Amino acid sequence: MTPKILVIDDHVLVREGLRRALSKNEDLNIIGEAASKREAFVQIPHHKPEVIVVDLHLPDGSGLEIIAWARALSQQMGIVALTFSSQPEHILACMQSGASAHVSRSAPITELVEAIEKSVLNPLTFSTRRATPNLKTK
């Protein structure tokens, strides 16, 4: 299966870089891009992607809102949060909003590809390579 992917990121250079790097992988299919929360809310129902890759900082709102909205829309959609921050509270927020994975924006593209593939297989689990503290309450 070649998952259909929608990239949501307001930085055009990053979107271009992602498109170029991901398109080298024949098992991935980028079907669209969105540069804002508003565009994402239009593109997701239109394209019905199997995976969305979401930046958390968008000009008109937070990627967390998109994650929560998309998760309410579909339990099958893979949702990968692509963030600059690796602060534990941000990773926790991604998980609690319904993301399938967290990937650092500084990481090589192979980490993102791995997270996309995992998110297709297990959209409701959560994975990250960042060192995270034990988040259990005492």
Partner 1 sequence: MPKREDQNERLELARRLHDGPAQKLIALGYRLDTVIGESTLNPIHRSELREIRLDLIDVTEDLRDELYLISALNLTSLRGELPEILPGFTIELDLPIDVAKPEIENSLAILILEIARNAAKHSTGKRFWVYFESSVNSFQLRVGDDGNRAISMKERSLGLKLINAQVQTLGGEIELRSGSFGNEYRIEIPRR
The DSSP result for 8-35, as a single string, is: E-S-HHHHHHHHHHHHTSTT-EEEEEES
If one asks whether residue 110 binds partner 1 (CB under 8 A), the answer comes out as: yes
If one asks whether residue 26 binds partner 1 (CB under 8 A), the answer comes out as: no
Contact (CB, 8 A) for 84 and 133: no
* Shortest separation between residue 7's beta carbon and partner 1, angstroms: 11
Site residues for partner 1, 30-49, by CB under 8 A, read none
Burial zone of 23 (CB within 10 Å; 0-12 exposed, 13-18 middle, 19+ buried) = exposed
The site for partner 1, by CB under 8 A, has a size of 32
Interface ranges with partner 1 (CB under 8 A): 11, 13-14, 16-18, 20-21, 24, 57, 84-89, 92, 96, 104-110, 132-138
